[in-house]
Every structure is written in structure tokens, then in C-alpha cells.
Structure 1
Amino acid sequence: MFVVTTNDVPGYRVTRVLGEVMGLTVRSANFGQNFTAGFRALGGGEMPEYTKVIYESRWEVMHRMWAEAQQRGANAVIAMRFDSGSIGAFTEFCAYGTAVVIEPLDAGQAQPPAPGQPPAPGQPPAAVQPPAAVQLPPQP
């Protein structure tokens, strides 16, 4: 499955548009993370407790978006974006894009990845390509 932030995939043409797909989650850090991060904030710098929550949240919403695209029969998601916002003490994360079916422009090129099983937690989809593709970070 291709997941790209561009409106097209170089070397491929869009043959069907299946609509917007998204993944959504609302998260908060646990008490221990908030407590530790509060002390780190006094000294400045990165707060790994919150970075971990954000990495996990982005992975989760990417996975949910990818799964919804698979269910619709897509082999690519184009124009993928992230969004986030606050709801009280919680943070909402969303990944969204357009589910499409693509095929190579040249019949001699390899076929795009067929729909398959979702990746294991912390693992990006096996065929996330080309260079403009979104690379999922390893799950801490």
C-alpha cells in the first residue's frame, strides 16, 4: 500500500477514487509521564514521555487510516495529512487522505502492492514507497 502526501504517485495513474479515509484517536499521558515530564520541563529540552505518546498516536492513526483504505479496496492513499487538537486535557490525533486504486503507467512496471494484512505494531506497511511516502517511526 502506498501512502503519500502528494496528490499522485509518480509512475502510476489513479483509476478509481474511493473517498476520504481517516484514523482518529484521543490520548493523554498517564500520571507517571505527566509527573516526570513536569520535572523535565524545569530544565528545558525534549520530553521523551510526551514524544513517545505522540509517536504511538501517529502510528495508531496511520494504521487505522490504512485499514480503512484496505477495507474499501484501495491500494494507495494520496494527499495524506496529520492533524491534532486539544479537547480539555486530552489531545486528538487524526491522519486522513484519499483512498484510491492506482496502476502503473507502463505495463512493464511492477504492480502496486496488493491489499494485505495490517503491519504489526511498530512496523510500517511493507511496501510504503516511493521516496515521498510516509515512513512510520518505530514504536518505542
Structure 2
Amino acid sequence: MSAKLLVTTTEQIPNHDYTVLGEVFGLTTQSKNVFRNIGAGLKNIVGGEIKDYTKMLDEARHTSVDRLRDNAATLGADAVVMMRFDSGAIGTDIQSVVAYGTAVKYR
């Protein structure tokens, strides 16, 4: 049931007292295939949004939050507070996205 686990960027959850369980993370690293990379390279010449990469990063963000929820659920958490994202490039065509936060248990 980790899909229903609350994930919030706030420090406090209104009307809830909780105990901190610890840090939780969700990580994914993704790349597009070579044909998509060629298309992205051409788009880079003329400018504009590279929709394949936008889609890839959106998918990576969702995957990292799902994995964060799974990590929190294994600790018995009811929610994750102070969730943040970080991302970085590995080479020219690989992106890594991590979601991290603090797992908490309601009292």
C-alpha cells in the first residue's frame, strides 16, 4: 500500500503528531535510445523543448517517488516529510534522479 503513503515537501503535517523513523530515498537512472539522442541533438541545433527528454525526466521523477514510498513503507512509515529532488547528468545522455525525505510514523 505504499502508493497511498503521503509524501509532502512540508516539515509538518497538519493535525498529526509523529515520530521520525529516518531518511528514505528513491533513485533511478535513465537514458533514451540512440535514435532519440540523435533527434535531441538535432533539436539542440535549432532550439526549443526536447520533448523526449522532458518525458524521460518526468518518468524518472515519478519512478523515484514510487521507490521513495516503497523505501518508507519497508520502515513502517505512514508518511514522508520534507521530500526533495536532486538530479544530475552522467555523461551526455544519462540522467539520474533521486527523491529523498524523512520517513515518519503517526503517534
TM-score band, normalised by the shorter chain?
0.7 to 0.9
Greater strand content: 2
Identical amino acids, percent of aligned pairs: 44
> Which structure 2 residues correspond to residues 7-86 of structure 1 after superposition, within 5 A?
7-14=11-18, 16-86=19-89
Partner of 1:88: 91
Q: What amino acid is aligned across from residue 54 of structure 1 in structure 2?
A: L
Deviation string 1:77-110 (CA, Å, 9 cap, x unpaired) is 000000011223322110000000125xxxxxxx
Cα RMSD (Å): 1.3
Query: Where do 5+ consecutive residues of structure 1 fail to align?
Result: 104-140
TM-fit CA distance, 1:26: 1.6
**Which protein has greater RCO, CA pairs closer than 8 Å, 6+ apart?**
2
TM-score, structure 1 length as denominator?
Answer: 0.68
TM-score, structure 2 length as denominator?
Answer: 0.87
Query: Where do 5+ consecutive residues of structure 2 fail to align?
Result: none
Q: What amino acid is aligned across from residue 55 of structure 1 in structure 2?
A: D
Matched pairs, number = 102
